[in-house]
Structure 1
Amino acid sequence: MDRQIQELKTKGFSGKMKIKTERRCGCRGADGKQLGKRCPRLKRKDHGRWTYRIQVPEDLRPLVGRGEIRGSGYPTEEDARADAEKEVVKIRSGRQHVGQLTVGQYLNTWLAGKRRLRPTSRGGYESNIRLYLCPMLGELPLKGLRKSHIDQMIARLEVEGSAPVKGGNGAMRKSRSLAPKTILEIFATLRAALNDAVVERLIDWNPALGVEMPEQDEEEVEPWEPEEVGRFLDEAADDRLAALYELIAIHGVRRGEACGLVDTDVDAEASRLTICRQIVESQGRLGVWPPKTKSGKRPLDIDPMMLGSIMARQLERDAERDAVGPAWNNGTLPNQRGELVQLTGLIFTRLDGRHLSPAYVTSHMQVIARRVGLCCQLVRPAKRGAKTLTVGKRYRAPEGVWTVYRDREPCGQVTVIGCTRRRGSGAVLHLAEALPIDLEIGMELGKKLLSRKRLHDLRHGSASIQIAEGVDITLVSKRLGHASPAITGRLYAHLLRSAGREVAQTAANAVPRRVVRPARPHPGHNDQRP
Structure 2
Amino acid sequence: MSETDLIMRDPATGLFGFRVELGRDCRGVRMQARRNGFATEKAALVEYRRLSRQRDARRRRPRLSDTVQSVCEDWLTGRVQELQPNTVYNYGWLLSLTYPHVGRVRVSRLSARMVERAYLQLETAGYSRTTLRTVNLVLAKAFGEQTGRTLGAHKPREADEVRPVWKLSEARRFLDHVADDRLHPMWRLLLTTGLRRGELCRLKWSDLEPDLATLTVRRQRVVEDPTSQVREKPPKSHNSTRSLLLDPVTLQTLTDARLWAKAARASGYMFTGRGGQPLRPDTVSSRFNQLAVAACVRPIGPHQVRHLLAGSLLDAGYGIAEVAERLGHDPSTLMRYYSRVNAERRRQAAVHVADLLSSDDAMGDQAGPVRTQQHGRHLTGRANEPAHSGDQPAVDEAP
Sort the Cα spacing of 1:364 and 1:65 in 2 relative to 1 into closer, same or farther, 3 A.
Answer: closer
Match of 2:172 in 1: 230
Match of 1:434 in 2: none
Q: Could you tell me how far apart the structure 2 residues matched to 1:97 and 1:234 are?
A: 59
Match of 2:310 in 1: 463
The answer to whether the aligner puts 1:346 opposite 2:251 as a matched pair is no
The answer to whether the aligner puts 1:63 opposite 2:57 as a matched pair is yes
Match of 1:14 in 2: none
Counterpart AA for 1:228: E
The Cα of 1:296 is off from its aligned counterpart by 0.8
What residue ranges of structure 1 are gaps of 5+ in the alignment? 12-58, 67-95, 163-174, 198-202, 322-327, 331-344, 373-448, 520-530
The answer to whether the aligner puts 1:104 opposite 2:66 as a matched pair is no
The Cα of 1:185 is off from its aligned counterpart by 1.2
The answer to whether the aligner puts 1:307 opposite 2:251 as a matched pair is yes
Match of 2:98 in 1: 133
The Cα of 1:501 is off from its aligned counterpart by 7.6
> After alignment, is 184-193 or 500-509 more displaced?
500-509
Match of 1:76 in 2: none
183, 191, 200: which one aligns with 1:258: 200
> After alignment, is 252-261 or 279-288 more displaced?
279-288
Q: Secondary structure at the match of 1:237?
A: helix
1:280–1:287 contact (8 Å) kept in structure 2:
yes
2:101–2:118 contact (8 Å) kept in structure 1:
no
Match of 2:137 in 1: 188
Sort the Cα spacing of 1:363 and 1:179 in 2 relative to 1 into closer, same or farther, 3 A.
Answer: closer
Match of 1:121 in 2: 87
1:260–1:346 contact (8 Å) kept in structure 2:
yes
Q: Could you tell me how far apart the structure 1 residues matched to 2:188 and 2:139 are?
A: 39
Larger radius of gyration: 1
The Cα of 1:107 is off from its aligned counterpart by 1.8
Q: Secondary structure at the match of 1:359?
A: helix
Q: Could you tell me how far apart the structure 1 residues matched to 2:250 and 2:299 are?
A: 25
Matches within 5 A, 1:352-501: 352-372=275-295, 449-482=296-329, 484-495=330-341, 499=345
Q: Could you tell me how far apart the structure 1 residues matched to 2:203 and 2:56 are?
A: 49
Q: Could you tell me how far apart the structure 1 residues matched to 2:58 and 2:293 are?
A: 63
Q: Could you tell me how far apart the structure 2 residues matched to 1:231 and 1:152 are?
A: 50
1:248–1:462 contact (8 Å) kept in structure 2:
no
Match of 2:150 in 1: 207
TM-score normalized by the length of structure 2 = 0.69
Q: Could you tell me how far apart the structure 2 residues matched to 1:257 and 1:230 are?
A: 22
Match of 2:115 in 1: 153
Match of 1:514 in 2: 370
Q: Could you tell me how far apart the structure 2 residues matched to 1:224 and 1:124 are?
A: 28
Sort the Cα spacing of 1:493 and 1:97 in 2 relative to 1 into closer, same or farther, 3 A.
Answer: closer
Q: Could you tell me how far apart the structure 1 residues matched to 2:336 and 2:90 are?
A: 22
Percent identical: 25
The Cα of 1:479 is off from its aligned counterpart by 0.9
Q: Secondary structure at the match of 2:182?
A: coil
Q: Secondary structure at the match of 2:98?
A: helix
Q: Secondary structure at the match of 1:274?
A: strand
1:64–1:97 contact (8 Å) kept in structure 2:
no
Q: Secondary structure at the match of 1:161?
A: helix
1:281–1:287 contact (8 Å) kept in structure 2:
yes
Q: Secondary structure at the match of 2:341?
A: helix
The Cα of 1:300 is off from its aligned counterpart by 1.2
Q: What RMSD in Å do the two structures reach over aligned CA positions?
A: 3.8
The Cα of 1:242 is off from its aligned counterpart by 1.0
Q: Secondary structure at the match of 1:453?
A: coil
Q: Secondary structure at the match of 1:495?
A: coil
Q: Which has the higher contact order (CA 8 A, sep 6+)?
A: 2
Deviations 1:138-177 (A, max 9, x none): 32344x154x2x431222331x329xxxxxxxxxxxx815
Q: Could you tell me how far apart the structure 2 residues matched to 1:296 and 1:512 are?
A: 51
The Cα of 1:106 is off from its aligned counterpart by 2.5
2:119–2:156 contact (8 Å) kept in structure 1:
no
Match of 1:297 in 2: 241
Richer in strand (by share): 1
Total equivalences in the alignment: 319
2:72–2:95 contact (8 Å) kept in structure 1:
yes
The Cα of 1:65 is off from its aligned counterpart by 7.1
1:260–1:277 contact (8 Å) kept in structure 2:
yes
The Cα of 1:220 is off from its aligned counterpart by 3.4
Q: Could you tell me how far apart the structure 2 residues matched to 1:260 and 1:61 are?
A: 39
Deviations 1:52-106 (A, max 9, x none): xxxxxxx99983879xxxxxxxxxxxxxxxxxxxxxxxxxxxxx57374433222
1:278–1:290 contact (8 Å) kept in structure 2:
yes
Q: Could you tell me how far apart the structure 2 residues matched to 1:61 and 1:222 are?
A: 50
1:464–1:492 contact (8 Å) kept in structure 2:
yes
Deviations 1:313-364 (A, max 9, x none): 212222333xxxxxx6x5xxxxxxxxxxxxxx21111223211111111111
